[in-house]
Structure 1
Amino acid sequence: MDHVSILLVDDEQAILHMLKTVLLKEQFVDIDTVTTAEEALTACENKTYHCIVLDIMLPGKSGLDICPFLRQVTDAPILFLTAKTTDYDKLTGFAVGGDDYVVKPFNPLEVVARIKSLLKRYLPTKMGTTITVNPSFSDVTSSSFSLQEGIYDFGRFQVFEQAGELQVEGQPVTCPALVYQLLLFFCKHPNRIFTKSELYERVWGSEAISDDNTVMVHIHRIRERIEADPSNPVFLVNVRGLGYKLIQPEKSSRL
Structure 2
Amino acid sequence: MKRLSVLIADDEAEIADLVAIHLEKEGYHVIKVSDGEEAVHAVETQSVDLLILDIMMPKMDGYEVTLSIREKHNLPIIFLSAKTSDFDKVQGLVIGADDYMTKPFTPIELVARVNAQLRRFIKLNQPKTDNKTSLEYGGLVITPDQRTVTLYGESIQLRPKEFDILYLLACNPKKVYSVEKIFQQVWGEAYFESGNTVMVHIRTLRKKLEEDRRKDKWIKTVWGVGYTFNG
Q: How does 1:43-122 map to 2 (within 5 A)?
A: 43-122=42-121
Higher relative contact order (CA 8 A, sep 6+): 1
Report whether the alignment pairs 1:9 with 2:9: yes
Q: Quick one: structure 1 residues 208 and 198, their matched pair in 2 at CA, closer, same or farther if it must change by over 3 Å?
A: closer
Q: CA deviation at 1:172?
A: 3.5
Q: Quick one: structure 1 residues 209 and 114, their matched pair in 2 at CA, closer, same or farther if it must change by over 3 Å?
A: farther
1:153 partner letter: E
TM-score where L is the length of structure 2 = 0.87
Q: Secondary structure at the residue paired with 2:193?
A: coil
CA distance in 2, matches of 1:231, 1:212: 26
User: Which residue number corresponds to residue 135 of structure 2?
Assistant: 152
User: Which residue number corresponds to residue 217 of structure 2?
Assistant: 234
Q: Say if 1:50 and 1:123, in contact at 8 Å, map to a contact too.
A: no
- Alpha-carbon deviations, 1:121-177, whole Å to 9, x = none? 322332x31599xxxxxxxxxxxxxxx525322232222222233333334333222
Q: Secondary structure at the residue paired with 1:219?
A: helix
User: Which residue number corresponds to residue 192 of structure 1?
Assistant: 175
2:18 partner letter: M
Q: Secondary structure at the residue paired with 1:222?
A: helix
Q: CA deviation at 1:97?
A: 1.6
1:24 partner letter: E
Q: Secondary structure at the residue paired with 2:60?
A: coil
Unmatched 5+ stretches in structure 1: 133-147, 249-255
Report whether the alignment pairs 1:246 with 2:221: no
User: Which residue number corresponds to residue 162 of structure 2?
Assistant: 179
Report whether the alignment pairs 1:212 with 2:195: yes
Query: Which deviates further from its counterpart, 34-43 or 220-229?
Result: 220-229
Q: Secondary structure at the residue paired with 1:178?
A: helix
TM-score where L is the length of structure 1 = 0.80
User: Which residue number corresponds to residue 38 of structure 2?
Assistant: 39
CA distance in 1, matches of 2:110, 2:180: 20
User: Which residue number corresponds to residue 21 of structure 1?
Assistant: 21
Q: CA deviation at 1:216?
A: 0.8
Q: Quick one: structure 1 residues 3 and 171, their matched pair in 2 at CA, closer, same or farther if it must change by over 3 Å?
A: farther
User: Which residue number corresponds to residue 129 of structure 1?
Assistant: 127
Q: Quick one: structure 1 residues 3 and 190, their matched pair in 2 at CA, closer, same or farther if it must change by over 3 Å?
A: farther
How many pairs does the alignment contain? 231
Q: Percent identity?
A: 30
Q: Quick one: structure 1 residues 189 and 116, their matched pair in 2 at CA, closer, same or farther if it must change by over 3 Å?
A: farther
Q: Say if 1:77 and 1:99, in contact at 8 Å, map to a contact too.
A: yes
User: Which residue number corresponds to residue 140 of structure 1?
Assistant: none
